[in-house]
Structure 1
Amino acid sequence: MSLVHLITHPEVAIDPAIPVPDWGLSERGRVRALAMPRQSWARRLRLVASSAERKARETAAILAAPLGLEVVVDAGLGENDRSATGFLPGPEFEATADLFFAHPEASIRGWERAVDAQARMVAAVGRVLGLAETPGDIAIVAHGAVGALLLCHLAGQPISRAADQPGEGGGNVFTFGRQDRALRQGWRRIEAAS
């Protein structure tokens, strides 16, 4: 049975002067990403896809290069559009994200609505899965909020921040079946995934 691994990029170099989609991985994030190709699940990959955001593309490239795979980029895998506010400091960002998940049909502070981000993410994942011509596992490198929205969709549950990745800084993965789209494993750290 083929699997799909939804991976969130690990820690980024935060710079309020740079648009969030252009942030790259921090040194810690790069070190964590380098652990992925050594994992047993990574060696079974036949396709690696990524959002168009720099941090996701860098993570996907680190995963794909040792496997000799090209990265397929799909802008639909991008994080929820938060350009209306740009960078928000930690506590303000967390409070706004809480509202984003709690009121999925509303635009919070001009952010993309959660229901729209979820529909976009589900469609993008469908496109990626349609690209895979051979059996085998697929990795999709994306972001925390849209990852949580996809997880809610796969589980048939209402949108909730309870489905968000654990910890801070990203670098988590969950796994679902490629054919049946049933959840196989919930969130776990990329270094500890099997």
Structure 2
Amino acid sequence: MAVHLVRHGQSAWNVAGRVQGQSPRAGSLTAAGRAQAAALDVTGTVLVSSDLPRARETAEIIAARLGLPVLVDAGLREQRLGALEGRRFAEVQPVIDGLWAHPLRLPPGGGESVADLHLRVRRTLGRLAARHAGEELVVVTHGGPIRVATTGVDPVSGSAVPRVAVGNAAVITVRPGAAV
């Protein structure tokens, strides 16, 4: 069994350099993002997506090619970043980097810590892997969830988590036990 973690295609706020988080204003994919999703070389027997528009649209494009329904799970959402959402990334990058360096810290204006994100995503992926045992999962999500799903660090202990780059339409394949 494999789990293919897919980051959504390019969104309007990616282009604008804005922090998306779970903001309903973040919108969906650009034309380039739709082309990225259409070009993804991923296969599976079950397709699950975050409920945020940019991930759902990516999943729907993949689903059309694979002939699969899209199952939606809010547990796959991006980190809730409070007052940082909608701000220019360049202006708040030190704050965001600080959240990953100190994973128990909450974002300004509410939201969830990296440790909270880690627990939510690990719980969600574990539940999906158990429910679809023996099947190949395609999971369309966001950069933050992919980072915490693939890190070897335990953010709940307070250990810093590397904020590795996860490009739009990136596919990272993991095996059960390695990340779920």
State the TM bucket, normalised to the shorter chain. 0.7 to 0.9
Matched, 1:182 2:166: no
Q: CA RMSD in A?
A: 2.2
User: 1:52-105 CA deviation, whole Å, 9 max, x = no partner?
Assistant: 100000111111122111111110110000133321102124222201101101
Question: 1: distance between equivalents of 2:77 and 2:113?
Answer: 14
**Residue aligning to 2:27:** 23
Identity value in percent: 30
Query: Counterpart in 2 of 1:115?
Result: 115
Q: Could you tell me which amino acid in structure 2 is paired with residue 73 of structure 1?
A: V
Map of 1:33 onto structure 2: 37
CA contact (8 A) 2:79 2:114 kept: yes
Q: How many residues align?
A: 168
The TM-score, its normalising length taken from structure 2, stands at: 0.83
Corresponding residue for residue 171 of structure 2: 173
Unaligned runs of 5+ in 2: none
**Equivalent in the alignment of 1:136:** 135
Alignment deviations for residues 12-42 of structure 1 (CA, whole Å, 9 cap, x no partner): 01277x9734510111111111001xx2xx2
**CA spacing shift, 1:55–1:6, aligned 2, 3 Å:** same
- Match in the other structure for 1:191: none
Question: What SS is found at the alignment partner of 2:45?
Answer: strand
Residue 190 of structure 1: aligned partner? none
Tell whether the 8 Å contact from 2:11 to 2:54 is kept in structure 1 after alignment: yes
Describe the shift of the 1:95–1:163 C-alpha distance in structure 2 as closer, same or farther (beyond 3 A): closer
Instruction: For 1:182, give the aligned amino acid.
Output: A
Tell me if the contact between 1:34 and 1:63 (Cα under 8 Å) persists in the aligned partners: yes
TM-score (norm 1): 0.77
Higher share of residues assigned strand: 1
Partner amino acid, structure 1, of 2:67: G
